[in-house]
Structure 1
Amino acid sequence: MFDPKKLEQVAKQIHDSMPQPVKELGNDVEQKVRQVIQAQLGKLDVVSREEFDVQTQVLLRTRQKLTALEQKMEALEGKLASEDKGE
């Protein structure tokens, strides 16, 4: 779900911003930071980018259909109003 490259970049930024004595503990700290970030991101109620894009397209098609139906409704109401005036 999460881009591993982005996760790696965030973990590296956190590691780089740590004080030197902590950095000297080595890769173990960086690995732990990565694990904590991944665990916290896993707890978030989010959707993947792919799912978001799919839902965006569905919403766009729904909006287009709604607009078309609104136009048809207005045309029918106009036709009905003009027929009522003709009686």
Structure 2
Amino acid sequence: MIDPKLLDDLAKRMAGSVPTGLQFLQDDLQRNFRSTLEAGLSHLELVTREEFDVQSAVLARTREKLEALERQVAELEKNQDND
């Protein structure tokens, strides 16, 4: 999930960029920007860096095991052809 502090900071920046005539709405805009950002980002199915790294490691181990099994099968097929 996205860091709530990051969302707050982004919403604050967006509200701060509103023209000066609308500055009195800044707090309300900041809350609305934050909820809009949260809703939009929740649909993206994002993962944390830690989850990504764990899955990358699992994939690397799986690939190594697959390559080892492919070598074993090739060796068995080679031995079977020689018999």
Alignment TM-score > 0.5, same fold? yes
TM-score (norm 2): 0.75
* Aligned residues with identical type, % of pairs: 40
RMSD: 2.0
Judged with a 3 Å threshold, the aligned counterparts in structure 2 of structure 1 residues 47 and 26 are, in CA distance, closer, same or farther, namely: closer
Q: Which amino acid is the alignment partner of residue 68 of structure 2?
A: A
- Which residue in the other structure is 2:72 paired with? 72
For the residue of structure 1 that corresponds to 2:25, the secondary structure is coil
Query: Is there any run of 5+ residues in structure 2 with no aligned partner, and where?
Result: none
Deviates further, 28-37 or 52-61: 52-61
TM-score (norm 1): 0.72
Deviates further, 2-11 or 45-54: 45-54
User: Matches of 1:65 and 1:34 in 2, distance apart?
Assistant: 45
Query: Is there any run of 5+ residues in structure 1 with no aligned partner, and where?
Result: none
Retained in 1: the 8 A contact 2:12–2:30?
Answer: yes
| Larger-Rg structure | 1
- Which residue in the other structure is 1:40 paired with? 40
Query: How many equivalent pairs are there?
Result: 82
Judged with a 3 Å threshold, the aligned counterparts in structure 2 of structure 1 residues 2 and 32 are, in CA distance, closer, same or farther, namely: same
